[in-house]
Amino acid sequence: MKVIWEGVMPAVTTKFTQDDKLDLDMFKKNIDAQLDAGVNGIILGGTLGEASTLLQEEKRELTRFTKDLVGDRVPVIMNIAEQTTKGAIKAAEIAEEDGASGLMMLPPMRYLADDRETVEYYKETAKSTSLPIMVYNNPVDYKIQISLDMFEELLKQDNIQAVKESTRDLSNVTRIINRFGNRLKVLSGVDTLAMESLLMGADGWVAGLVCAFPKETVAIYNLVKSGQIEEALKIYRWFLPVLELDINSKLVQNIKLAEVATGIGTENVRAPRLSLIGDERAKVQKIIDTAMATRPNVEAHLTV
């Protein structure tokens, strides 16, 4: 299935049972809610997906299950976060074999690669696969910045097509558009800058809190793209305290707690992560409870 790099693409959480197995029943419930809201793709195996804790066979099971579930309604994107170029090439091969339509790709893990090494890592992986690739540019968390000059080299590979823009520099959206036009699609990767990025011309939103609030996320995107900015702002201002739960080291636990509130997830995480407790939990729960008590009705904004 062809990937069109635009719209809302949830970086979905991985659901676990209390005995630490994949909870495919709850996973299906969440994916159904995403599809019902009108998302444009499903991204597996990101930070929110707790991919670093998943066994290879679990990643494969999730990819195949998701592909069977969504069919040709939306593309399934698998994240690649590997330590070696060889590992990234193998991960791309497996994702394609299991039915993924595209890849989201982090720079090399652990080793702090320089610019030349990072470019070669992406290019060699891109050459090895027919799948389209979205580069995940997040120097804040992963310490490697992919500059515009580096993108100039990367875009010589036709299947490198998009960037998940997570530099936290809002002006970067404009810089990318000025330099590359429509050649490099831009998707905001920071929930708290998403509406601002869309207003600056970003094509889409790789979202986190969409995992708990799919309709509200899609509504903001639709309203912005149709020019109904005031209506979008009303929802976005309500949403912002919850969106801030995404820019936190406990984002997985935070978002899973929000999924419980909306009935499309559980708190179960995989160790070394542990569910929130005490004052930390109470603070997050208060934010979620306030949002639930004032939750807007967005049904009218789910189609454009």
Three-class secondary structure of residue 44 per DSSP: strand
Number of H helices, E strands in the chain: 12, 8
Per-residue model confidence (pLDDT) at position 304: 64
Q: Rounded to an integer, what distance in angstroms lies between the CA atom of residue 188 and that of residue 205?
A: 5
Q: Tens of pLDDT along the chain (304 residues)?
A: 899 999 999 999 999 999 999 999 999 999 999 999 999 999 999 999 999 999 999 999 999 999 999 999 999 999 999 999 999 999 999 999 999 999 999 999 989 999 999 999 999 999 999 999 999 999 998 899 999 999 999 999 999 999 999 999 999 999 999 999 999 999 999 999 999 999 999 999 999 999 999 999 999 999 999 999 999 999 999 999 999 999 999 999 999 999 999 999 999 999 999 999 999 999 999 999 999 999 999 999 998 6
Q: Rounded to an integer, what distance in angstroms lies between the CA atom of residue 3 and that of residue 13?
A: 21
β-pairing, 133-137 vs 160-165, is parallel
What structural domains and CATH numbers belong to the chain? 7-301 (3.20.20.70)
The number of beta carbons lying within 10 Å of the beta carbon of residue 29 is 15
| Closest to 266 measured CA to CA, from 19, 52, 17 | 17
E-state strands within the chain = 7-10, 42-44, 76-80, 102-105, 133-137, 160-165, 185-188, 204-207
Residue with tokens 């559980």: 266
Give, to the nearest 10 degrees, the angle between helix 85-97 and helix 115-127.
30
Centroid of chain to Cα 30: 15
Per-residue model confidence (pLDDT) at position 105: 97
CB under 8 Å to 114, separation ≥6 — which residues? Answer: none
Three-class secondary structure of residue 287 per DSSP: helix
